[in-house]
Amino acid sequence: MGIRAKTGSGRCSVCRLHFPICLCATRPQLHFDTEIVLFMHYIESFKTSNTGILLQSCLTHSQLNLFGGQGNQCLDWDALEFDARDCAVLFPSPEAQPLAESWFPKRLIVPDGNWRQASKMAKKLQRRFGIRAVSIQANKPSNYRFRKAPKEGWICTYEAAVASLECLYGKEAVAPLDDYFLRVMDRLAWMKGWLDREAVYGGIPAGLQRHQLVKSEASTGSPKIIT
């Protein structure tokens, strides 16, 4: 995996959890014929609330591209090649077709940024390559608690991509991704003091106290959580 989150020394750069509660050893590694192509705004790679990096780490047939920055973070549009016949961009624009009813994409592009950044990226892909937009209907409430939803029924990048894969491959195929996401989110919520350890899905290792992890992070000079 090329891009990793910018976290402090006390935290894992993939799941963003403190090392003693890192869940990467039990992270699913799944292959789907549909390639998930993430276009992530570079600012997202600094945020512990981002879920795109977590998603890509679970999918063996996926890629992550940064956009919006300068130098290495600046996307070279001329180097991109997309065949509009087998690609779709996941964004609920007015003309978007429901995913399962449209057709089966070989590559599904998922913009990852705030609402405005994602919308701009989706429009540019549609205009430049003629790629169609598809949307999904979230069939369950979001388990993501780290940002205010910009719209009612909004789900985060990880959940949106997994819901798309569920549309195409079925519930059972994506169950390990749902399970992993809930375990990571509950541990992050526990670290924030939003959840009691008894309520954490998958549990917290015995004997581990939250204040010990917070203290170890403070002593290593790690940056604060950006949400």
Q: How far apart are CA 84 and CA 129, in angstroms?
A: 6
- Please, what is the minimum distance in Å from the beta carbon of residue 23 to Zn ion? 6
> Would you mind telling me the total number of residues written for the chain in this entry?
227
**What minimum distance in Å lies between the beta carbon of 1 and Zn ion?**
12
Helix (H, G, I), strand (E, B) or coil at 139: coil
For Zn ion, the closer of residues 29 and 72 by Cβ is 29
**Among 14, 54, 134, 204, which residue sits at the site for Zn ion (rule: CB under 5 A)?**
14
- Looking at the Cβ atoms of 16 and 41, the one nearer to Zn ion is 16
For residue 24, state whether it binds Zn ion (rule: CB under 5 A): yes
Answer yes or no: are the C-beta atoms of 156 and 51 closer than 8 Å: yes
- Comparison of 109 and 185: residue with beta carbon closer to Zn ion: 185
Cα end-to-end distance, the chain, whole Å: 24
For Zn ion, which residue of 12, 43, 100, 182 counts as binding (CB under 5 A)?
A: 12
The answer to the question of residue 28 lying near Zn ion (CB under 5 A) is no
How big is the site for Zn ion, counted in residues (CB under 5 A)?
5
Shortest Å distance, C-beta 29 to Zn ion: 14
For position 8 contacting Zn ion by CB under 5 A, the verdict is no
Closest alpha carbon to 176 in 202, 155, 156: 202
Calpha distance 165→100 (Å, rounded): 10
Please state, as a whole number, how many other Cβ atoms lie within 10 Å of the Cβ of residue 161.
Answer: 28
Under the rule (CB under 5 A), what is the footprint of Zn ion? 12, 14-15, 22, 24
